Amino acid sequence: MIKQATRIFAILWLSLFTALANSAPNKPLVLRTAENQPQDYPTTQAITFMAERLAQLSEGEINIKLYSGGQLGDEKDTLELTILGGIDLNRVNLAPLNSIVPETTILSMPFLFRSTEHMRAVLDGQIGEDILAAFEPHGLIGLAFYDSGARSIYNTIKPIRTPADLKGMKIRVQNSDIYVAMMDALGANPTPMGFGQVYESLILGTIDGGENNWPSYETTRHFEAAPFYSLTEHTMTPDVLLMSKYRWDKLSSQQQVLLKHAAKASVPHMRKLWDNRTEDSRKKIIAAGVQIDSGLNKAAFKAAMQPVYDQFIATDKMRSLLERILTVQP
């Protein structure tokens, strides 16, 4: 609690300092950017790519100062700070945004996308644009979606092949009602917590498992602490790059155009990095001797998720959005 208060105080102080520095004429603009993944992770690399592009396009006027590896805190906290203007840019998963921007919930729904190509086509089209635009009334500017792959369940105890195997197991989820509902529907005990606390909780036994994509399971070394990985691929909730609206409104329209352009330009680069990294992480995890369950009964996992659809796709608006997503062809 004290640590958290100190961090928030330090960030607000840093913002004030940067705001004063940036108000001086002809000073380069410095955008403080939060990223909870390490330096070599595809989203972090995509932001670095974007930073280079921005510096070039703005002739050194706009700079990104990247705080990777969760230095600025967990996503729930950094999101609050971004809304307040204490952080300028933030790359997060959409799950912790579900309660802030209701339009994002649809993209966390279980077994929504048929493939990576389907997901990318949805995000690249009008639906993706509409969801990015929905951030603004909540104090955030949606700049671009990044891939976050398919998430699967891992645990410290045993192979999971059917929902029944999960009964009573404490599975860490992101801070999102849909994630809680998904684990409830599968019969597990959902335990919401920040990404940064998962490793320690696996070691201490306060949780039995978690769920994530191949690269995150690898970079966090969760695969060593929880060496049973079941390829449930139950959701493909994307990541998103956001800007604080507070800060956005202080930029000139030309600076805004450059930022949007550089963010969009980083997407194809990110996707290439993502595909390669997923393959590398998969190989590394298999080589480490993790038990991978690929032949599980996916249909049973899908069927068990029906209550999540009943709960979250409950209005005509959500039903028609779901219909539109399902009809998108890659």
DSSP 8-state code for residue 247: H
- Nearer to ligand GCU by C-beta: 195 or 309? 195
- Nearer to ligand GCU by C-beta: 32 or 277? 277
Kindly state whether residue 77 participates in binding ligand GCU, applying the rule CB under 6 A. Answer: no
Kindly state whether residue 218 participates in binding ligand GCU, applying the rule CB under 6 A. Answer: no
Burial track 95-133 (b if 16+ CB lie within 10 A, e otherwise) = bbbbeebebbbbbbbbbbbeebebbbbbbeeebbeebbe
Which distant-in-sequence residues (6+ apart) come within 8 Å of 8 by Cβ?
77, 81, 86
- Nearer to ligand GCU by C-beta: 250 or 269? 269
Which 3 state secondary structure label does DSSP give 152? strand
Q: Which of 216, 266, 278, 281 binds ligand GCU (CB under 6 A)?
A: 216
Minimum distance, C-beta of residue 327 to ligand GCU, in the bound complex (Å): 28
DSSP 8-state code for residue 238: P
Crossing angle of helices 126-133/316-327, nearest 10°?
A: 140
Q: Which of 147, 165, 208, 239 binds ligand GCU (CB under 6 A)?
A: 239
- Nearer to ligand GCU by C-beta: 36 or 155? 36
- Nearer to ligand GCU by C-beta: 206 or 256? 206
- Nearer to ligand GCU by C-beta: 93 or 278? 93
Kindly state whether residue 174 participates in binding ligand GCU, applying the rule CB under 6 A. Answer: yes
Kindly state whether residue 195 participates in binding ligand GCU, applying the rule CB under 6 A. Answer: yes
Minimum distance, C-beta of residue 75 to ligand GCU, in the bound complex (Å): 5
Contact of 151 with 278, CB cutoff 8 Å:
no
- Nearer to ligand GCU by C-beta: 57 or 193? 193
Which distant-in-sequence residues (6+ apart) come within 8 Å of 115 by Cβ?
330
Kindly state whether residue 148 participates in binding ligand GCU, applying the rule CB under 6 A. Answer: yes
Angle subtended at Cα 90 by Cα 285 and Cα 109, rounded to the nearest 5 degrees: 60
Which distant-in-sequence residues (6+ apart) come within 8 Å of 281 by Cβ?
214, 215, 217, 218, 219
Minimum distance, C-beta of residue 213 to ligand GCU, in the bound complex (Å): 6
Q: Which of 32, 45, 75, 240 binds ligand GCU (CB under 6 A)?
A: 75
- What DSSP string runs through 171-188? EEE-S-HHHHHHHHHTT-
Q: Which of 33, 36, 90, 98 binds ligand GCU (CB under 6 A)?
A: 36
Q: Which of 93, 152, 155, 201 binds ligand GCU (CB under 6 A)?
A: 93
Minimum distance, C-beta of residue 316 to ligand GCU, in the bound complex (Å): 31
Crossing angle of helices 253-287/42-57, nearest 10°?
A: 150
- Nearer to ligand GCU by C-beta: 163 or 215? 215
Binding mask 255-294 for ligand GCU (x = CB under 6 A): ----------------------------------------
Closest CA to 45 of 280, 213, 271: 271
Give whole-number Cα distances, 261 to 61, 113, 306, in Å: 15, 27, 39
The site for ligand GCU (CB under 6 A) is made up of 36-37, 75, 92-93, 148, 174, 195, 212, 216, 239
